[in-house]
Structure 1
Amino acid sequence: SPLALDNFKLSEPVKSLLRAKGIEALFDIQAQCLPPLLEGQDLVGRARTGCGKTLAFVLPIVERLAGGQGAGGKRAFGRAPSVVVLAPTRELAKQVAADFEYYAKAFSLTTVCLYGGTQYGPQEGMLRRGVDVVIGTPGRVKDHLERGTLKLNQLRFRVLDECDEMLNMGFVEDVEKILNAGVDAATVQTLLFSATLPHWVKDITKRFLKPGFTTVDLVGSQKMKASTSVRHLLLPCHWSQRSQIVPDLVKCYGVCGRTIIFTETKNDANELSGTLAESFGARALHGDIPQGQREVTLAGFRSGKFSVLVATDVAARGLDISGVELVIQLEPPKDPETYIHRSGRTGRAGQTGICLTLVDRRKEGLIPYIQTKAGLKFERVGAPQPSDMAQLAGERALEAVQAVDVSVLPFFRAAAQKLLESVGSPEDAVALALAKITGHVEMRPRSLLTAHEDFTTLRFVSPWPVEKPGQVFGFLRKHMHEEETVEEAKRMTLTADGLGAVFDVPTSLAKEFLAKCGKNEGTRATAHLQVATSLPELKEREQQYGGGGAGFGSPGNGFQRAGGYGGRGAGYGGRGGSSGGGRGGFGGRGGSSGGRGFGGARKFGGRK
């Protein structure tokens, strides 16, 4: 392979350390950065998240330090650092520091990581003794400069990692002060890595990099900026169902690896981690958690003590943890860059992963924007059905049962014999026992369109084009005969192939719909209803009708007299409302819960 380690100017100690981690070849970003950096050139690097960017600058800097003034016998007490690396978050700074420590140990190079939330004393002690590499967040590095405990007058390298994020986090003044505090740019090698190139980043490049710097761009003008090794799934889910569905999503999609769940608020992180604590040992990670506890939490997640981490965006940037199989976002973020970096916590370093985003109808408008800006195409999926979860639970229960010590069998044979006699079939007896063990004693279907329980998603299939929802409602009226029953059809959405639609009905009415509108065996192809076992590709939201994008008919009222799914952009319950509604509907504008629940005769609240 042209990317094999032996094809690059790497020392034997460094190659041995790489191979000890199972690395036999470099990634593209590393292979393209290594030669110019070893030659002393300044560099601007752009690459997708999770592509091995950190080693792209760690390896050449360590090699140059080992072969120059920063290595050998020049380990003078109190020496000023030869390298300063700035990172936007303490998590990223610590990860970069860990890589430097690992590869620098072969040459007795020392490192220190400077970040806030910890005492100054230990950091000042290390700086007084002398270090070769300083990695830190801009705020804490600037503090040490102002306190006089950090000198940058002997710099040979300076690195800005995730420069665009430092701009987003308000570190402009701190970064510029640090850059101006060093030696003349002509005598220092400057490396800048940034996923995007906003105006400030371009300005920094012009002011602090030497003319003729090298550019390594693995993004370019390509639209696809999100990781290509990640499946981007989109699951329609009403906000009220999120806590019920997330545990099943972890069981379905995160079976063998680690899972990171992103929430928008600290309170959401606390509540959801509490919900998942018993089943998965989940822990929360956000800015209100003391730094010491955050480090313990991340260490436990890395070591496998627990498999689910519930985090705010404090962990989105730069968090590099191997084995993250699944990322779940409770709702789509407002900007594509946040989506790109959240999804980039999985599918790293050549591995594959899944990023699953829950979307309430209120946030559907963000999806086309994210797809366009991040250059990805979401794959829509439905909520895991109880039948799927029962089968999965049965398989895991079987493994657990097979692990039971046979010495306990005599104590249960009498009860087993009674069960067998009452049921008749050995298979049925075991199945009943497994159902009870796993807690799947009742099957409550979920809507594929909203994840609400006790709703079934039906699919209308037609041999002729379906251009408007009214065609489907006309078909239903013709066969169902009862207008009130037809009005139970909610969230009508046309399919992308133009030959059908999907919609929800109360599970109690699903058999009636199928009996009157299902396909008759032996007849020629004709329009009919069937149970949707998965979500087909759907038309974009702007091609749907009524209710400000919510239902059918007048704004906020769904289809005709029924409550539909509520008002403009609100999903179930209208603008700011929650579940409930008119006859079988889900609430008027701003309605709050009350009445008889889903399908009841009264509305939950009314207009404000």
Structure 2
Amino acid sequence: MKRGVKQAQSFASLISEPLREALKKRGIEALFPIQAKTFEDVLSGCDLVGRARTGQGKTLAFVLPILESLVNGPTKASRKTGYGRPPSVLVLLPTRELATQVYDDFKVYGGAMGLNSCCVYGGASYQPQEFALKRGVDVVVGTPGRIKDHIEKGNIDLSLLKFRVLDEADEMLRMGFVEDVELILGKVKDVSKVQTLLFSATLPSWVKQISAKFLKPDKKTIDLVGNEKMKASTNVRHIVLPCSTSAIPQVIPDIIRCYGSGGRTIIFTEKRESANELSGLLPGARALHGEIQQSQREVTLSGFRSGKFLTLVATNVAARGLDINDVQLIIQCEPPNDVEAYIHRSGRTGRAGNSGVAVMLYDPRRSNISKIQRESGVKFEHITAPKAEDIAKAAGVEAAQTITQVSDSVIPAFKSAAEDLLNTSGLSAVELLAKAIAKATGYTEIKSRSLLTSMENHVTLLLESGKPIFSPSFAFSVLRRILPEDKVESVTGMSLTTDGNGAVFDVKKEDVDTFLAAQENAAGVNIEVVKILPSLQEREQQRGRFGGRGRGGFGDRSGGNRFSGGRGGRGGGFSDRRNSSGGFKGRNNGNKW
């Protein structure tokens, strides 16, 4: 729903007074385009296929007209009431989180109209669900597996069903619910008496087959995406940042500080273990993934929505459809395997007309960055890890806000100590204040980062040999001719430039002079410090020296952890952040990232 902006069609003419009042209590006074377009089609009894970008108000596009139809519209006369009544509405969703979210809308808005709803999903006890179903409900919302179980147990009677809804149909395909969904849809004997609504961000072949098989031939289609290339949210700033695996725990706090604007942040990882590790290192963060008990997942989501904590570290379980207000920043620790996953993850910010930032960390040699940009239509903004001055500026704003909130009553007590410090330190008042601000925000030392891998105390160098460099092995052979083997072995992140004439790599800061001097040992060889990262070739990661598991690659996985080689006590380009809300807690327990 769009707040405070009237659409061409009157809000009041579509929605009855009790429902309108319930919407206003949530600050909703106008319809999104897809919501306005679905109303008349649903009330007229048409089957419907709806396609919209994430964040365009898809859920209420079916919740509102269904409720109006049941209470004031064409299905009112035939809807059963009373104890033990079978459901009039069945809604299928791929995950528990999505099911509880949609159930909440039916509970709030349906409750305002005297309708009763229940939510059923795996991981929760059967008994309360069975009790609610046998008592009688108007709306059942749930996941395919648990819905199927209740149908087979005789707890759900579909004989008087008026509406069946498939939401996030493409995601149900991806999660392997094809057989369950088709079984459930096939349980309805007389499809002429049931209205079917299908919503999906994309329309893969299975979704089209379901539409052809289970929806009426005269179904309507509402497509707010169409053939537009830009499928990701237009309100989001899309950023990509090169970062080695080991540097991730150091870089993320500074990304949050520079781009989070003090709002909520969702960080996506590919594996549950990664989510657990990262949430343990970020102060106040919580993890969300499939192996966490459902009750705890609900507590976590409730806390994130209410602002009890501002950083959520999640796997793909949270990527689809979760409607959480004011998510300012999305961070993806690595590119997802497919373009749609990127669109859905980045779509957790920039919702309902708000703006947001989506940052994706990547290995420059991986090939799917260009693919994601090409197929999603986004124009990635290429940046390097936040620089010291950027972090200091953001931290200074935080410190200024904190300092100005301190009562003037403390000045007399500390004024003498401040004067003594100013007189004995040998520093100016501005220099002392700069140090105080740094300490107040948890910074005691600035550490430089490389442009290529974002690793602390590393520098990115460019190698040119006077001839094309076709492979990393050739670049290493050039280095071996002019440098000792131990220095060559210390090189990390070897990548080739797009023009094929050079290679970039990282070395330790203390080794820079050695590498620069070595170019004098071979004619035609040029080595220089990179000021701006050039365009790089993208390569599939491979095993071995230059791949995900070899020495010197981005994915050094010593110890078996997803993020290895990092230091838990560091946050970003600065050290000693024990009191910093933007950095990681120091952990001297030997764990590695």
TM-score, with structure 1 as normaliser: 0.79
Tell me whether 69-78 or 392-401 shows the greater mean CA deviation.
69-78
TM-aligned CA distance change 1:492 to 1:3, over 3 Å: farther
After superposing the two structures, state which structure 1 stretch, 68-77 or 341-350, moved more: 68-77
Which amino acid letter does the alignment assign opposite residue 567 of structure 1?
F
Matched to 1:171, the amino acid is: F
Matched to 1:400, the amino acid is: T
The equivalent residue for 2:318 is 315
Q: Residues 422 and 432 of structure 2 are in contact (CA less than 8 Å); yes or no, is this contact kept in structure 1? A: yes
Separation in structure 1 between the aligned mates of residue 69 and residue 467 of structure 2, nearest angstrom = 66
Whole-Å Cα distance in 2 between the matches of residues 53 and 295 of structure 1?
22
Selected match of 1:541 from 538, 543, 549: 538
Counterpart Cα distance in 2 of 1:343 and 1:314: 14
Alignment of 1:153 onto 2:159: yes
Q: Name the SS for the 1:412 alignment partner.
A: helix
What amino acid sits opposite 2:115 in the alignment? Answer: L
Q: In the alignment, which residue of structure 1 is the partner of 2:576? A: none
Where in structure 2 are the equivalents of 1:378-389 lying within 5 Å?
378-389=380-391
Match of 2:48 in 1: 43
Deviation at 1:377, TM superposition (A): 2.8
Partner in structure 2 of residue 573 of structure 1? 552
Shift of 1:405: 2.8
Q: Is 2:62 the partner of 1:65? A: no
1:70·1:132 contact (CA, 8 Å) conserved in 2? no
User: 1:73–1:573: structure 2 CA closer, same or farther, 3 Å change rule?
Assistant: closer
The answer on whether the counterparts of 1:3 and 1:26 sit within 8 Å (CA) in structure 2 is: no
1:408 partner letter = V
Matched, 1:344 2:323: no
Q: What's the offset of the Cα at 1:5? A: 4.0
> Shift of the alpha carbon at 1:255?
2.3
Q: 2:21 matched to 1:16?
A: yes
441, 451, 454: which one aligns with 2:454: 451
Deviation at 1:570, TM superposition (A): 6.4
Matches within 5 A, 1:587-606: none
CA contact (8 A) 2:87 2:161 kept: yes
2:219 to 208, 213, 216: 213
Q: Identify if the C-alpha distance between structure 1 residues 576 and 137 changes in structure 2 by more than 3 Å, giving closer, same or farther.
A: closer
Separation in 2 of the partners of 1:393 and 1:575? Answer: 29
Match of 1:164 in 2: 170
Counting only pairs closer than 5 Å after superposition, residues 87-236 of structure 1 correspond to structure 2 as 87-236=93-242
Q: For 2:246, what is the secondary structure of its paired residue?
A: helix
> Which deviations, in whole Å up to 9, do the C-alpha atoms of 1:454-511 show, x marking residues without a partner?
1345799xxxxx99679xxxxxxxxxxx965999998687888999997756545779
CA contact (8 A) 2:469 2:500 kept: no
Secondary structure of 1:45's aligned partner: strand
Go from structure 1 to structure 2 and tell me whether the alpha carbon gap of 1:38 and 1:467 turns closer, same or farther (over 3 Å shift).
Answer: farther
Question: 1:143 deviation in Å?
Answer: 0.9
State the distance in 2 between where 1:335 and 1:201 align: 18
Code of the residue aligned with 2:66 in structure 1: it is I
**Contact 1:156/1:188 (8 A) holds in 2:** yes
Change (3 A) 1:450 1:98: same
Q: Which residue of 2 aligns with 1:53?
A: 58
Distance (Å, rounded) in 1 between the aligned partners of 2:17 and 2:234: 33
Report if the CA contact (8 A) 2:266-2:313 is conserved. yes
Give 5+ residue unaligned stretches, structure 1: 461-465, 471-481, 518-526, 543-547, 557-565, 580-591, 594-608
Q: 2:28 matched to 1:31?
A: no
Question: In the TM superposition, what is the alpha-carbon distance from 1:535 to its structure 2 partner?
Answer: 5.3
Q: Output aligned runs, 1:277-296, within 5 Å.
A: 277=283, 281-296=284-299
CA separation of 1:262 and 1:569: change in aligned 2, threshold 3 A: closer
Residues 1:212 and 1:241: Cα distance change in structure 2 (over 3 Å)? same
Aligned-partner SS, 1:541: coil
**Secondary structure in 1 aligned to 2:14?**
coil
Q: 1:131: Cα distance to partner?
A: 0.9
Q: Is the 8 A contact 2:243 2:361 kept in 1?
A: yes
Identify the residue that residue 329 of structure 1 maps to in structure 2.
Answer: 332
Partners of 2:112 and 2:442 in 1: CA distance: 55
Q: What displacement does 1:304 show?
A: 0.4
> C-alpha distance in 2, partners of 1:180/1:366?
39
Deviation at 1:156, TM superposition (A): 0.7
Deviations 1:502-521 (A, max 9, x none): 77565457799999x9xxxx
Per-residue deviation, 1:385:
1.8
Q: How far off its partner does 1:195 sit?
A: 2.0
- What SS class does the counterpart of residue 282 from structure 2 fall into? helix
Equivalent-residue separation in structure 2 for 1:177 and 1:268 (angstroms): 36
Structure 2 residue aligned with 1:409: 411
Taking the aligned partners of 1:165 and 1:172, their CA distance within structure 2 comes to 10
The equivalent of 2:591 in structure 1 is none
* Distance of aligned partners of 1:220 and 1:237 in 2 relative to their CA distance in 1, 3 Å threshold: same
Deviation at 1:260, TM superposition (A): 0.7
2:83 partner SS: coil
Secondary structure at the counterpart of residue 245 of structure 1: helix
How far apart, in 1, do the equivalents of 2:397 and 2:325 lie? 27
Q: What letter is aligned with 2:54?
A: T
Distance 1:398 1:298 in 2: 31
Q: Which amino acid aligns with 1:17?
A: A
Report the AA paired with residue 377 of structure 2.
Answer: G
Shift of 1:394: 2.5
CA deviation map 1:548-575 (0-9, x unaligned) = 999xxxx98xxxxxxxxx5256686149
Q: Which has the higher contact order (CA 8 A, sep 6+)?
A: 2
The TM-score, its normalising length taken from structure 2, stands at: 0.80
CA deviation vs aligned residue, 1:219-264 (integer Å, no higher than 9, x gap):
2233322222222211110001111111111111112211111111
Matched letter for residue 218 of structure 1: L
Instruction: Indicate the residue corresponding to 1:584 in structure 2.
Output: none
User: Are the equivalent residues in 2 in contact too, given 1:154–1:183 (CA < 8 A)?
Assistant: no
Give the letter for the 1:406 counterpart.
D
Residue by residue, what CA displacement relative to the aligned partner does 1:507-542 show, whole Å, maximum 9, x if unpaired?
457799999x9xxxxxxxxx998873x657x25537
8 Å CA contact 1:4, 1:25 repeated in 2: no
Structure-2 residue corresponding to 1:301: 304
Q: What is the distance in 1 between the residues matched to 2:273 and 2:59?
A: 33
**Superimposed CA distance per residue, residues 356-404 of structure 1 (whole angstroms, 9 cap, x where no aligned partner):** 1111245x21212222332323221110123322232222222222222
Alignment-mate amino acid for residue 347 of structure 1: G
Q: Distance in 2 between matches of 1:135 and 1:224?
A: 32
1:424 to 1:309, Cα distance in 2 relative to 1, 3 A: closer
Cα distance in 1 for partners of 2:250, 2:217 equals 57
3-state DSSP of counterpart to 2:28? coil
Deviation at 1:134, TM superposition (A): 0.7
Q: C-alpha distance in 2, partners of 1:84/1:19?
A: 26
- SS across alignment from 2:55: coil
Q: Unpaired runs of 5+ in structure 2? A: 1-5, 471-480, 520-525, 559-564, 567-593
CA-to-partner distance for each residue in 1:401-444, whole Å, 9 max, x for gaps?
22223333344333212211122522222222223333433221
